[in-house]
Chains A and B, each alone.
Chain A
């Protein structure tokens, strides 16, 4: 029986990160995952809104949780921001009855209510734990042999904490290893990429990205593997600007873990949205991805 989840895509995955969305859809079937998209979902407010209006931000996420509660399944999301907001909302509503009451007054306007209890998981955890590394390994058709991968978590997946040591996580390395790739050490694997700071204080965000790219270059990674749309966006789209600002020559592709899984499962380039990459893969990875059609 395939495990079934209520899938909450979030806006980024739908828009700026279509390659993430495409690769998620592409690998779900082969991994035996049923991802049922939550009907009528709304934006979670991302990282910014929580700092603008906390209560409203909780209401936004609570609406999604209230809708999800009707289905009785665990919620799964692939975006670290969404994941953090879902976890945080659950935690806060559980801990602060007054807040819960306020939020429920707002939900009542939409004939909804939420009393907590909807478990939320990041897709990484679903694949690494629920599907399991052993099963993933069985499914590998084309091991990512010789590809040096830096496993990068970012900050938001780890801080609400799904049972991983937030200072020394190992789940992503385990998964990448199961795909047959060579996992490099990546000392900055839990450091922040700058997140939405890229929109408000670019200078600081570029420096944070520079640190990560330099670290990846240091450990001779051929690809940075990410689990969050914003991490991917900052590290890849802004890579040229980092180079311009710091006089560096970074050219490291930044791929979603689902894209790497897809490659290892033998899926094709376009199925995984790999044609959308801005920084093109090189070396053994390029051979796996194949020549652009």
Chain B
């Protein structure tokens, strides 16, 4: 019915340089396409996505009166919008253009040239057959809610929130810890400039806390997200803090008087905190939380010292979790990373040998406000005579993470420098490759070489307290194959620092599902395009920035934060955005009202009209995934742009040379 018998299909076959033409005989595909039903003209061209390539389509639409266009090139993910726009400029509805992916689906994954050419022909035939059944669709514009949700209050989330809020728009910043600041707040110095992490971060934290456009919710987590770009509805769980944020004046008496202690997360367990605590003095907000696991009142029903002594009456043991709903137009995830758990790597005996530290522990050990006041001392109180820094712990290791964590070489150099500055210790770095790629990084490496730090090229095999001679007795021994000398060595040290790598957050999978984005093999969130859309995701209106996308240092994280803020502000400046037209529609005549689709729809886009006894799709919410159309037992739902007729035509086309 929709097939225009007089369809005039223009077929364009892209060489993509040698990406396609190197494997697929494009001339032959073109030749074969000429005989396909409805095809009015066939052209092949070096780069269809280039301006001249796009112009080719436009000119032919006008001159040859084409009413369907097939572009055989790459994945539609990147260039479908390009070619749709090219058609629309020439007056042809963009949805009458069909792509055939002969690169990712064919030339890149096929060894044999002839097989590749045959497959490309089949894909083109499928696209041509399908194109003849396409119908024009109209995209709509929807308004964008001017508020933005930023998830995660590390340096990335802080920067994103400030950039957006400074433009005058509302930002909700949700952080699951009691304070913002993230990992950076725990660092001592920053490489390669050696400026103090707290000195550059805390002013930004304070600004977040005071900003009129930022609503800061710490000790909170996003529980549910519904809706779509422009109008998301988000449910945030504000966990019970047992301290009223509005009444607390941050005087700290509660913390001082609390008689119970637990290991401090902020100090990497090297010091204790109270059961009611502010993680560190510069925390924002400077409102304590009560840890029910450590608080004696929650165990025995007695104590309440903090409540009795609080001058403003802010302590409230009856406080409950609260669920708060907010409406936002865009979401930026800045959920960061987690540190590799060094105990997983048995050979380094972390957790067994007292003088084996992780990087985050060492950060606190040399920090002036840390547990030792910045003095680098062994547990015995002595100064170490020699310290070994083991690189790539949990990184570049197929057993754990294949990826390079990007920051460890540099923070290891920073540690080496701080050790040289504060102690007389001999410092050894055990490295595979030194990766000092950033601005000023290589120079910093050079400086450390001049500071007489030892660099041993080889992955440390193990750390042991087993002495094999008198010189090793009472010390730790690092065994390593020194690949420059070509020998295994045993190097006695007193302290070992493990340069633990960066991993995805342990609940990254779950968070990704909640926000409807994807995670890669390495566990990190996947960006829309690795080069050209680094902070966008496959879901419109959901952006990612910082180390949740992959290991990143502070400069890169901050750059991404500003990039994500700019992306959000782009949609806010315009006030509205275009949404997909390929949505589903229910044929009320055929709908039996079984409501199967209501529960299946992942976007809650289908509602039931009880009066008429039929279901209906909300166009604004529908993402066109097709789940409902596939499941409908009455065949009453049509996925526009992917209806049965179109799909069957494409299958027949692909199988054009198969004869029964």
Within 8 A of B (CB), among A177-207: 187-188
- Please tell me which one of the listed residues B345, B346, B347, B466 contacts residue A218 in the complex, with CB atoms under 8 A apart: B466
Complex Cα distance, B466 from A188, in Å, reads 8
Q: Is A215 an interface residue (CB 8 A)?
A: yes
Question: B235 contacts which chain A residues (CB < 8 A)?
Answer: none
- Is there contact, CB below 8 Å, between A167 and B466? no
Question: B345 contacts which chain A residues (CB < 8 A)?
Answer: 167
- Please tell me which one of the listed residues B346, B465, B468 contacts residue A165 in the complex, with CB atoms under 8 A apart: B346
Complex Cα distance, B465 from A165, in Å, reads 19
Question: Can you list, as one digit per residue, whether each of B398-420 has a CB less than 8 Å from chain A (1) or not (0)?
Answer: 00000000000000000000000
- Please tell me which one of the listed residues A165, A167, A218 contacts residue B462 in the complex, with CB atoms under 8 A apart: A167
Question: Can you list, as one digit per residue, whether each of B451-483 has a CB less than 8 Å from chain A (1) or not (0)?
Answer: 000000000001011111000000000000000
Q: Closest Cβ of chain B: how far from A237's Cβ, in Å?
A: 23
Which among B347, B462, B466 has the highest number of chain A CB atoms within 10 Å? B466
- Is there contact, CB below 8 Å, between A168 and B347? yes
- Is there contact, CB below 8 Å, between B346 and A187? no
Q: Is A214 an interface residue (CB 8 A)?
A: yes
Within 8 A of A (CB), among B337-389: 345-347, 349
Complex Cα distance, B464 from A168, in Å, reads 12
Q: Which residue of A lies closest to B347 (CB)?
A: A167
Q: Closest Cβ of chain A: how far from B462's Cβ, in Å?
A: 7
Q: Is A47 an interface residue (CB 8 A)?
A: no
Q: Is A211 an interface residue (CB 8 A)?
A: yes
- Is there contact, CB below 8 Å, between B465 and A167? no
Question: B465 contacts which chain A residues (CB < 8 A)?
Answer: 187
Question: B468 contacts which chain A residues (CB < 8 A)?
Answer: 211, 214
- Is there contact, CB below 8 Å, between A167 and B464? no
Question: A167 contacts which chain B residues (CB < 8 A)?
Answer: 345-347, 462
* A to B contact number (C-beta, < 8 Å): 17
Q: Closest Cβ of chain A: how far from B432's Cβ, in Å?
A: 18
Complex Cα distance, B462 from A214, in Å, reads 19
Interface of A is mostly: loop
Q: Closest Cβ of chain B: how far from A243's Cβ, in Å?
A: 17
Interface of B is mostly: loop
Q: Closest Cβ of chain A: how far from B497's Cβ, in Å?
A: 19
- Is there contact, CB below 8 Å, between B466 and A187? yes
Question: A165 contacts which chain B residues (CB < 8 A)?
Answer: 346
Interface size (B, Cβ < 8 Å)?
Answer: 10
Complex Cα distance, B349 from A188, in Å, reads 13
- Is there contact, CB below 8 Å, between B347 and A187? no
Question: B466 contacts which chain A residues (CB < 8 A)?
Answer: 187-188, 215, 218
Which among A167, A188, A211 has the highest number of chain B CB atoms within 10 Å? A167
Question: B467 contacts which chain A residues (CB < 8 A)?
Answer: 218
Within 8 A of B (CB), among A133-185: 165, 167-168
Question: A168 contacts which chain B residues (CB < 8 A)?
Answer: 346-347, 349
Complex Cα distance, B347 from A215, in Å, reads 17
Complex Cα distance, B422 from A263, in Å, reads 57
Q: Closest Cβ of chain A: how far from B50's Cβ, in Å?
A: 43
Complex Cα distance, B466 from A218, in Å, reads 9
Q: Which residue of B lies closest to A185 (CB)?
A: B466
Question: A188 contacts which chain B residues (CB < 8 A)?
Answer: 466
Q: Closest Cβ of chain A: how far from B274's Cβ, in Å?
A: 35
Within 8 A of A (CB), among B74-132: none
Q: Which residue of B lies closest to A186 (CB)?
A: B466
Question: B346 contacts which chain A residues (CB < 8 A)?
Answer: 165, 167-168
Complex Cα distance, B462 from A135, in Å, reads 35
Q: Closest Cβ of chain B: how far from A95's Cβ, in Å?
A: 15
Q: Closest Cβ of chain A: how far from B477's Cβ, in Å?
A: 10
Question: B349 contacts which chain A residues (CB < 8 A)?
Answer: 168
Within 8 A of A (CB), among B426-470: 462, 464-468
Q: Which residue of B lies closest to A215 (CB)?
A: B466
Complex Cα distance, B222 from A139, in Å, reads 54
Q: Closest Cβ of chain B: how far from A40's Cβ, in Å?
A: 39
Question: Can you list, as one digit per residue, whether each of A212-237 has a CB less than 8 Å from chain B (1) or not (0)?
Answer: 00110010000000000000000000
Question: Can you list, as one digit per residue, whether each of B172-209 has a CB less than 8 Å from chain A (1) or not (0)?
Answer: 00000000000000000000000000000000000000
Complex Cα distance, B464 from A48, in Å, reads 30
Q: Which residue of A lies closest to B343 (CB)?
A: A168
Q: Closest Cβ of chain B: how far from A190's Cβ, in Å?
A: 9
Complex Cα distance, B345 from A27, in Å, reads 35
Complex Cα distance, B472 from A215, in Å, reads 13
Q: Which residue of A lies closest to B466 (CB)?
A: A187
Q: Closest Cβ of chain B: how far from A168's Cβ, in Å?
A: 3
Q: Closest Cβ of chain B: how far from A185's Cβ, in Å?
A: 9
Within 8 A of B (CB), among A62-113: none
Question: B464 contacts which chain A residues (CB < 8 A)?
Answer: 187
Question: A187 contacts which chain B residues (CB < 8 A)?
Answer: 464-466
Complex Cα distance, B102 from A169, in Å, reads 50
Question: A211 contacts which chain B residues (CB < 8 A)?
Answer: 468
Question: B462 contacts which chain A residues (CB < 8 A)?
Answer: 167
Q: Which residue of B lies closest to A187 (CB)?
A: B466
Complex Cα distance, B462 from A187, in Å, reads 11
Q: Closest Cβ of chain B: how far from A126's Cβ, in Å?
A: 23
Question: Can you list, as one digit per residue, whether each of A110-132 has a CB less than 8 Å from chain B (1) or not (0)?
Answer: 00000000000000000000000
Complex Cα distance, B346 from A211, in Å, reads 21
Q: Which residue of B lies closest to A169 (CB)?
A: B346
Complex Cα distance, B468 from A214, in Å, reads 8
Q: Which residue of B lies closest to A211 (CB)?
A: B468
Complex Cα distance, B244 from A97, in Å, reads 67
Q: Which residue of A lies closest to B345 (CB)?
A: A167
Complex Cα distance, B463 from A187, in Å, reads 10
Complex Cα distance, B230 from A287, in Å, reads 82
Complex Cα distance, B464 from A43, in Å, reads 37
Would you list 8 pairs from A and B whose C-beta atoms are within 8 A, ordered by A residue?
A: A165-B346, A167-B346, A167-B462, A168-B347, A168-B349, A187-B465, A214-B468, A215-B466
Closest 9 CB pairs of A and B: A168-B346, A187-B466, A167-B346, A167-B347, A165-B346, A187-B464, A215-B466, A188-B466, A211-B468
- 15 further A-B contacts with Cβ under 8 Å, apart from A168-B349, A211-B468, are A165-B346, A167-B345, A167-B346, A167-B347, A167-B462, A168-B346, A168-B347, A187-B464, A187-B465, A187-B466, A188-B466, A214-B468, A215-B466, A218-B466, A218-B467
Task: List the interface of chain B (C-beta within 8 A of A).
Answer: 345-347, 349, 462, 464-468
